[in-house]
Amino acid sequence: MAKAKSVELIALQCSECKRKNYTTKKNKKNMQGKLELNKYCRFDKKHTLHKETKIK
């Protein structure tokens, strides 16, 4: 089975506390823009906006 070369591993950073809480995969062919999701931040103890960042 062939691996997809357009799939990229990304991190989601909280817009409030600026910590990277989640990692996920993103298909660069289907989504050209930056990913933004409302996810739960365990440090703020509430749902906040998480934006896509690079993994070091």
Q: What pLDDT digit, counting tens, does each position of 29-41 carry? A: 998 899 999 999 9
Report the number of distinct structural domains present in the chain.
1
| Residue 4, pLDDT above cutoff 90 | no
Has residue 43 been placed in a domain?
Answer: yes
- pTM equals 0.81
* Domain-embedded: residue 2: no
CA 28 – CA 2 distance, rounded (Å): 17
- CATH number for the domain spanning 28: value is 2.20.28.120
Range of the domain at 31: 7-53
Let me know if residue 1 belongs to a domain: no
